[in-house]
Amino acid sequence: MLDLRLYLAQRISAMIMVPFVITHIAVMIYAIQGGLSAAEILGRTQGSLFWFVFYGMFVAAVSVHAAIGVRVVLSEITGLRGLALCLVGTAAFFLFLLLGASAVIAVTVAP
């Protein structure tokens, strides 16, 4: 039953990520073609609640999706099962969430 729930969670997180990925790529293409520098981009994103929420939700969805993927790959490669596999998957989730959140804060919160 856990495998089915994780399968569904990964598929749902993938569906959630689609508009985020498309928006992110579109904005990056627009920014690069407009000749914006990294400093100019940060000037536009820092202090923006919209970008904080946008990338925060993006990071949350990616963290769920990637942690489940890491869990599946580790299970297949190492044969890890049970509690150890759940702990590794949970640790991967929190690591991805922490790293992503720190990037979001760095880009959106004004110094």
- Under the banding of pLDDT at 50, 70 and 90, the label for residue 90 is very high
For residues 79, 84, 88 and 94, what is the CA-based torsion angle, rounded to 10 degrees?
Answer: 160
pTM here is: 0.89
Q: What is the mean pLDDT of the chain?
A: 93
Q: What's the pLDDT tens digit per position in 41-72?
A: 888 889 999 999 999 999 999 999 999 999 99
Residue ranges of domains in the chain, CATH in brackets: 2-108 (1.20.1300)
Residue 95 has pLDDT above 80, yes or no: yes
Q: Which stretch of DSSP H or E encloses residue 30? A: helix 2-33
